[in-house]
Amino acid sequence: MMEFEPDFEALLEKWGSEEAVSSFLQHQLERINNDCFNGRLALPQLQIKPMWLSRGLFGERRSGADYEPANGDKPAVIGLFPVILLDERSARIALAHEMIHHWEMTTEDKCHEWSYPERVDKIIQQRFSNANKEHLWRARHSARFIAKAHNVANSLSIPIRELLFRR
């Protein structure tokens, strides 16, 4: 009998099979693409990753998902960790967040002015204990990303705080 890490066993217990969770994710990917990107986003691959890959240098959990842009002949990948896949709503939010990263990496829109309400900056500032941590987060989340996240949050009826920080 094959042994799985405990987080993956919990995932299989919830969904019944890898095929079931993969089907759910593929459906959500297509739905978010249609609802938020007018069906025009080239879809990345999806991958369920082992939890140990979600750990930072000091063992802290960094995220429920990540995005790897295409590189040469390697396609773009949205990786989701079992912990985020135990709750369907959290999985949808994480997938939408990573799809915005994918959109930003694959779509050029230089002529559009990307703006969002001031209250979103306040939400971001409140999230961090110091300006350095906020600066590091903003280095990975541009104004263009934040503006698109605001639009996606509205389209999916998700609070912007949850879409930005998955909490």
Please name which of 119, 102, 131, 101 lies closest in space to residue 159, comparing C-alpha atoms.
Answer: 119
Tell me if 1 is assigned to some domain: no
Q: Across the strands, what pairs with 46?
A: 78
Residue type, 135: H
Q: Strand order in 65-68's β-sheet?
A: 45-48, 77-80, 65-68
Can you give the residue range of the structural domain that contains 68?
6-165
Both structure tokens of 123: 């939400």
What is the chain's pLDDT, residue by residue, as a tens digit (167 residues)? 344 566 778 888 889 998 999 999 999 999 999 999 999 999 999 998 875 544 444 444 557 899 999 999 999 999 998 888 999 999 999 999 999 999 999 988 765 678 899 999 999 999 998 899 999 999 999 999 999 999 999 999 999 999 999 75
Q: Is residue 87 part of a domain?
A: yes
Task: Kindly state whether residue 139 falls inside one of the protein's structural domains.
Answer: yes
Q: Domain count of the chain?
A: 1
Residue reference for tokens 């930005």: 164
